[in-house]
Every structure is written in C-alpha cells, then in structure tokens.
Amino acid sequence: MKGIDISNNDGNVDFTKVVADGVQVAYIKATEGTTYADGYLETYYSKAKQEGLKVGFYHFLVGTSQPETQAYNFYNHIKDKTSDLIPMLDVETAFNGLMDYALRFIAKFKELSNLPIGMYTYTSFLDNLDNRLGDYPLWEANYNNNPWNLPSNLFNSRIGHQYTETGLVDGVSTKCDVNEFNDGVFVSTWKLGWNQNSTGYWYCTDVTNKYYYKDSWQQIDGEWYSFDSDGYARKSTWLQDGGYWYYLQDSCIMARNKWLWIDGECYYFGDKGGMYVNCTTPDGYKVDEIGAWIQ
C-alpha cells in the first residue's frame, strides 16, 4: 500500500488531495532527541485522521542526549494519539555507542508503552547495526525507485520500503518520501497465535516484540507446520527435508497417516509425515519409486 512520511520540512499538506492520490498511510515525525517535537505534529495528525488515513509516528535518534530521555520524549508526544502504524525508531546517524543507544531507547519505550516498535534505516547504513535488532520490523530506505527490490539483510521482517525521496504526491507542495508498506506495518495486524494477511498465515509468539516462527518446523496443537524464511506457513506444496518428501495441505497442516490425491496421483504419508516410496504401505498397497500408488 502507498504511504508517505512527512515532517516540518514538507510544510502545509492538503490531506484531502493526498488521499485522492492513492495514499493510504502516513508516518509523521514526532520527536528528535530529548526536547524537540516537530512543529507540524499536531496539525498533520488531526488532518490526516480527519481524512481517514492510517497514521504512525517516528523518533529521530541522536547521540547527544540519553536514549532513555529520548524515549520519554517520544512516548509523551504520541501517548494520547492513535497509533495505527507501528512506532518507528529512525536510526541513520552514526556515533559512538549507537547500538547501545538504540537498544536502551527500545527498552525504555517498552517500559512506557504497550505498543510494538520498529526500526527505520537506510540499506547503506545497515553495517552500523547488528543482529540484536534483527527481530524488529524494518522500514528500509533504498532509493532505487523499485518497490520491494531489496537485498537480504540482518532483519527478519521488512514491513516498508521507502523507495524515493523525490516523489510527487498531490497535496504535498515539496518533493517527498514515498513508500510501499505491507500489512505488517499495522499495530492491529498482530495477535498472539495465528495471524493472516493477503500473503498467508503466520504464527506470532510475542506480540510486543513481533516474534514469530520462521524457517522451521513447529508442532502446534498436535499438528505439524512448516514455516518459510519469511515466516509464512507453507500450504498446498511439497517440501523435501532430510531425505524425505512431505506435503503441506491446504490447511497448512503436514499430511500424515493418510493417502492424498495430488495432481492425479495418490501418495501415502506415514506417522512422521514422510512419503512412502518403493514399498508396501501399512494398509497393504504398493507405491513406486516416486511414491505413487501402483494401481
């Protein structure tokens, strides 16, 4: 979905025109450092909400004041507002102790708020960060003008791509940042247990930190599921693992102790889910070298 992020640098914004131009979400700069609040924060927020936009906020991290006091500044300026989008920590300036500052900011914000938090940074800045931040949702800036065409990195969940800083959006008088976001950007998207969006199903184990199963097998309520590297449960597909073939059904549940017709052939899956090959099944039928029932 199309989104913009705005600050005082963008001046007056006509949000009626912004919405008419297809924008669905807007991130607003809230704070920077310990004392600064963006002069347009209140105006942008009220007018964006009035036009039905989904709204979120970000804080610009600096190295000249303690991260705990910066977290207080951020929290105090957004606590009475509705955060439709995950609050973001904007990390794009290098200084000694950057990682320590980022982690301390996050820890304090979690103490103050029950909202999740994500990270905003540039692809070119990622070398300044490490995998202690990898489980937080990432909003990534990379001005390639090609949404979602991004290299893999240390983060496990990318929820936004800021693909240009010179975009033209009706209602914004300046050239502005334009983004594409997925459903993971919404605070309300995540709940403990199974979640679903337009791509598929995933399983959240910690709502606050947005932890979820990925790149693994998991047994849930007595059934086995396979989660891909993006965290989605595989469905309606074959999977080869450890020398055996498995099948993830339409329900995402691994097939076991049953016959299944798949693409015109019938296959048998054992107690541990592996497909029987070139043998006789427990109920006395023969399968060939690819596992298909010999009729």
**Residues recognised as catalytic:** 5, 92
Cα–Cα distance list, 126 to 64, 158, 213, 277 (Å): 21, 13, 24, 47
Find the helix or strand (DSSP H, E) in which 46 lies.
helix 41-50
DSSP 124: G
| Cα distances (Å, whole numbers) of residue 98 to 1, 31, 45, 95, 127 | 31, 18, 30, 6, 12
* Cα 245 from Cα 277, distance rounded (Å): 9
Instruction: Find tokens 């109920």 and name the residue.
Output: 283
Contact 143, 165 (CB under 8 A): yes
Q: Are 86 and 117 in contact (CB under 8 A)?
A: yes
